Amino acid sequence: MTLHHLLERIVNDHETHAKWLNTLSYMENVGARKISACEHPTEVNLIQLKHAAEEHRHAHYLKKQILKITSSSCENYRKEYLLASLSTRQYLHSLDIKTCKYLQQNFSLTKEQLRYAAYLFVTYAIEVRADELYPVYQEVLTRCGSKVMVKSIILEEEGHLEEMIHQLDEFCEAWKIHAEHILKIENDLHQQWIKSISEEILKTEHA
Ligand SMILES: [Fe+2]
Ligand SMILES: [Fe+2]
């Protein structure tokens, strides 16, 4: 199932759509908390603060969108309120672990430097994905005439990607070579995640 096709199925079923929004909200929240966790207690700069604040806003905004389509809100991020909960939880966690492993093998970094480098590369990969996923989602929303809107998120994610590129430029001249590897890791995990969601939706449709 292509992403487009999958999103159409999701948007056309309110209950599934609510879970999808909650799943995205969960991922935004995990991302926000990861960014905050990577902050240096005293050296944290304006870009990092802005980034964390905006990811938290996305988590909150997506959660609020659920009320536009259904009254049965997804109260929290328990597995019954998420799509493919296991795969969803594993996605960012595995990306983190695999990225750290790669960075440790290719750089000699202190613990603090590793944390910052992981923040740069993981967040970069997530922003590349966000810049692909949200516009496709918005296109489907518009075409289906849904009240849900993610345009404000798209704008901010574009800004984030530029900011990550800027920070990576400062971190290491050859960052693009390394980023390629991280994007490959992310792509595999993303495929796995989409596959799990597709399977779950097909199962529900045939139930
Ligand atoms: Fe976001
Ligand atoms: Fe972002």
Give tens-digit pLDDT for 87-142.
999 999 999 999 999 999 999 999 989 999 999 999 999 999 999 999 999 999 99
- Ligand that lies nearest to the alpha carbon of residue 150, given by its number in the listed order: 1
The predicted structure's pLDDT at residue 126: 96
Give residue 207 CA to ligand 1 midpoint distance, Å. 33
Give residue 179 CA to ligand 2 midpoint distance, Å. 17
Give residue 177 CA to ligand 1 midpoint distance, Å. 25
Which tokens in the block code for residue 76? 């929290």
Q: What is the pTM of this model?
A: 0.94
The per-residue DSSP string of 129-193 comes to: HHHHHHHHHHHHHHHTT-S---HHHHHHHHHHHHHHHHHHHHH-TTHHHHHHHHHHHHHHHHHHH
- Ligand that lies nearest to the alpha carbon of residue 51, given by its number in the listed order: 2
- Ligand that lies nearest to the alpha carbon of residue 50, given by its number in the listed order: 2
Give residue 206 CA to ligand 1 midpoint distance, Å. 33
Q: Which of 207, 155, 131, 190 is nearest to 6 (CA)?
A: 190
Q: Which residues neighbour 121 within 8 Å (Cβ) at sequence distance 6 or greater?
A: 99, 103, 168, 178, 179, 182
- How far is residue 136 from each of residues 30, 35, 140, 165, measured CA to CA in Å? 22, 25, 6, 22
Give tens-digit pLDDT for 60-75.
999 999 999 998 779 9
Task: Give yes or no for residue 86 having a pLDDT over 90.
Answer: yes
Task: Give yes or no for residue 57 having a pLDDT over 80.
Answer: yes
Q: Which of 4, 2, 1 is nearest to 137 (CA)?
A: 4
Give residue 34 CA to ligand 2 midpoint distance, Å. 12
- Count of helices and strands (H, E) across the chain: 7, 0
Give residue 15 CA to ligand 2 midpoint distance, Å. 26
Give residue 15 CA to ligand 1 midpoint distance, Å. 23
- Ligand that lies nearest to the alpha carbon of residue 159, given by its number in the listed order: 2
Give residue 129 CA to ligand 2 midpoint distance, Å. 9
Task: Give yes or no for residue 20 having a pLDDT over 80.
Answer: yes
- How far is residue 93 from each of residues 15, 62, 86, 186, 203, measured CA to CA in Å? 26, 21, 11, 11, 26
